[in-house]
A and B are shown apart, each in its own frame.
Chain A
Amino acid sequence: MTFPGAAGLRVERTGPQLLVEDLGRPGLAHLGVPPSGALDRSALALANRLVGNPEGAAGLEALLGGCVLVAERSLRLAVTGASVGIRVDDRAMPWGQPVPVTAGARLELGPVGWPGLRCWLAVGGGIAVAPVLGSRSTDVLTGLGPAPVGIGDRLPVGDELGEVGSGSAVPDATRQPLVLDLAPGPRRDWLTDDALERLTAPGLRVMPASNRVALRLSGLEGLPARRTHELPSEGVLTGAVQLPPSGQPVVFLADHPVTGGYPVVGVVSEAGLRRCAQARPGDSVRFGLR
């Protein structure tokens, strides 16, 4: 796809998934529109500060890295999130710092090594694709926003706005197990004390079906609950931990449906959501009750 607008980045390789994301479309849940946006909002905001952008400018969310972008003019870039090798015209560049590139330069993000899954790339001026409902984020659930970035795409970049910022970009704590702090959810009382204990015991694993919609976990099959019936549809928030009868908890992430029918027993904190953004299939997870 080619976008009208200022020259920016030409995509030579995307890796497994490369998406444009900003801070999403908050405030439209009552119309059935998911919040969407970068899975790790702080990582995108930091990358934006590093290149002098407002925190909510659109950047790229790269799953497992492995992408190659060519600058069509001189640009400022910064990469945050999972630790990843960065090369510009085959010279190693620092992660988590502003990197100036000249017109024609080839930026390569290496593969993201374990632990970790996603990194965010900000570019001075922001990715300037047309916004949809006020956001440039790709929502994989509804298809709102730009299509996933493909090989050969030319991504327009806006004019640089501010001065290069600073901030320490420490790779996300991805020590295993990933601990997700849980604040109480509306249906916590559906769980027996036994079930609560099992919910917080080690042994949960990230399932391969996980994506931007939800982190899907296995390991609670046969969990005893006081009640198990389906609920009339009710609003769902990012971080909500839903417990379907399969005993496979679902942690809703940015592209989640806005209503759901299974009990929400807890809500993962913002810090926990950052860990979810880095959780790979097979990683072990543990809920920490508050």
Chain B
Amino acid sequence: MPRVLPYGDHGLLLELGSLTEAQAAYRAVRALVAGGELPTPVDVVPGARTVLVAGLDRGAAPSWQAALGALRPDAAAPLPVESGVETVITVRYDGRDLAEVAAEWGCSTAAVVDRHLAAAFTVAFCGFAPGFAYCTADPPLPPVRRLAEPRRSVGAGSVALGGEFCGVYPRAMPGGWRLVGTTDAVLFDPDREPAALLRPGDHLRFTAGGRP
């Protein structure tokens, strides 16, 4: 049963039971905003189990509280058109942690690549850095342990696995996820419209290729 939790004077946090429910709830909340019957929030921020509705005027909180409390997100509902984008990212599977991931999954490195290529991904939420998207796989990939000690710098375009998620580092920064490959795709460019290549709700596939 979803719970609506207070988040200061201008925010409400909808808490769901699972990541899949949270993804469905994010789509439902976006649909509520697009419907225009409720006061427009400044931000709708999906999380791993939550959707944060923020920047509400004081008077707007009760109507949102009621609307969120009544949501029964259907994890099987079709995606709204605006988030039905499918992005394809070309990857060189040259990540230095491929062997560790293979060992953790109990398969060959080639099988890791095959499973990664076969999965359809959906952006669950963004965070950590502008344009860093936490993507879930269908069929799901086995969880991957993060590094005990994050690397001080992971290169821009590194394709990585962490926990139940896959992500691509938008720029060089510290990181503790397991690196499986690299891409030349530009994940975030503030001068581009849209700035973020991957947005919550977007679909994503990986394809193997690119210069060595």
Residues of A within 8 A of B (CB): 26-33, 132-133, 142, 144, 183-187, 231-235, 237, 239-240, 257-259, 264, 266-269
Contact = CB atoms under 8 A, between A and B. Distances in A.
Residue of A33, A233, A268, A269 most packed against chain B (CB within 10 A): A233
16 contacts: A29-B52, A31-B130, A33-B195, A184-B8, A186-B5, A186-B13, A232-B19, A232-B48, A233-B125, A234-B50, A239-B8, A257-B127, A258-B45, A258-B126, A267-B8, A267-B9
Given A186-B15, A232-B47, A32 B132 contact: yes
Given A27-B42, A30-B199, A231-B49, 11 more contacts: A26-B55, A29-B43, A30-B126, A30-B200, A31-B199, A32-B127, A32-B130, A185-B6, A186-B6, A187-B5, A232-B49
Contacts of A30: 43-46, 125-126, 199-200
A156 B46 CA distance: 38
In the A-B complex, the 9 residue pairs with the closest CB atoms? A267-B8, A235-B52, A232-B48, A259-B127, A235-B45, A234-B47, A186-B5, A32-B126, A186-B13
A258 B9 CA distance: 18
Nearest to A145: B190
B54 interface: yes
Interface in B31-72: 42-52, 54-55
Interface in B177-193: 188, 190-191
A30 B53 CA distance: 11
A264 B125 contact: no
A185 B43 CA distance: 17
A199 B106 CA distance: 47
B7 A32 contact: no
Given A26-B55, A27-B42, A234-B50, A183 B190 contact: no
Contacts of B44: 30
B191 to A, nearest CB: 8
B-side interface size class: 35 or more
B170 to A, nearest CB: 8
A240 B131 CA distance: 22
A94 B11 CA distance: 39
A167 B54 CA distance: 30
A185 B7 contact: yes
A235 B54 contact: yes
B60 to A, nearest CB: 15
B111 interface: no
A237 B47 contact: no
A267 B128 CA distance: 21
B42 A26 contact: yes
A237 B7 contact: yes
Contacts of A240: 7-8
A155 B177 CA distance: 40
Given A30-B199, A184-B6, A185-B6, A235 B50 contact: yes
B46 A235 contact: yes
Contacts of A142: 129-130
A234 B49 contact: yes
B196 interface: yes
B134 interface: yes
A126 B127 CA distance: 31
Nearest to B131: A32
Contacts of B131: 31-32
Contacts of B48: 232-234
Contacts of B128: 32, 257, 259
B54 A29 contact: yes
A239 to B, nearest CB: 6
A287 to B, nearest CB: 13
B90 to A, nearest CB: 22
Residue of B11, B19, B200 most packed against chain A (CB within 10 A): B11
Given A234-B50, A235-B52, A259 B125 contact: yes
A26 B19 CA distance: 25
A220 to B, nearest CB: 20
Contacts of B134: 233
A134 to B, nearest CB: 10
